[in-house]
Amino acid sequence: MLSFVARRLVATLIVLFVASFIVYVLTANSGDPLLELRQSRDPNAQFLIADLTEKLQLETPPVLRYFSWLGGAAGCFIGQCDLGISVARGELPVTAVIATAMGSTLQLVTAATVLAILFGVAIGMTTALRQYSGYDYTVTFATFVFYSLPVFWVAVLLKQYGAIAFNQFLGDPYIPWWMFIVIALASGFVFMSIVGGGWKPGSARSSSPASAPDSSSCCWT
């Protein structure tokens, strides 16, 4: 058992090393972090270029620079984490940027988990009450569709329309008249599917008293 765990741990470390090396080298060769300074007319541009070149070790080839970064990343295990600086965040330490983003990420994940549980339980209960109805089939079909969509593609759509476009809408909140009609029809369809009866024909059957057998007509021999 211990040998199996050890092999898995070694394989995980190898995969992590190879993946981080590839990502680091590709990122280092994807662009020039000094491009904005090279195009700047600031009289101190040359000084800033030299200072940033020294901080980022740009004179060192990316392959060798990776091992220098790896040494700083390995220091996280002993409480001396050094992941470099972020040029896009005003040369802030990467650890500080990650700490800031981690708080927002935890809030987002917590809110998403709570909403997923609430909506999932509510939709599951209503589909169970309307089993084999049009509402049940619609929810089942939508579940399969959303489950089969690529996560990264859905994330891009949600970022574009759920965050950026929604923020732009809040800056100028205008809703056309036809949108109210669409929202009303969609809401009515959903609510009546849940509250109303099923779409399956003959789902509500009633038995008339005349169809019940009459015990008084039985004869005894």
Q: Check whether 220 has a pLDDT greater than 70.
A: no
pLDDT at 120 (0 to 100): 92
Q: Which residue has the higher pLDDT, 135 or 185?
A: 185
pLDDT at 213 (0 to 100): 52
pLDDT at 22 (0 to 100): 95
pLDDT, average across residues 128-153 = 87
Q: Check whether 204 has a pLDDT greater than 80.
A: no
Query: What Å distances lie between residue 34 and 39, 48, 116, 130, 207, CA to CA?
Result: 9, 9, 44, 62, 83
Q: Check whether 207 has a pLDDT greater than 50.
A: no
pLDDT, average across residues 156-168 = 86
Pairwise CA distance, residues 62 & 25, whole Å = 6
- Indicate the pTM of the whole model: 0.57
pLDDT tens track for 8-66: 999 999 999 999 999 999 988 888 888 888 888 888 888 888 888 888 888 889 999 99
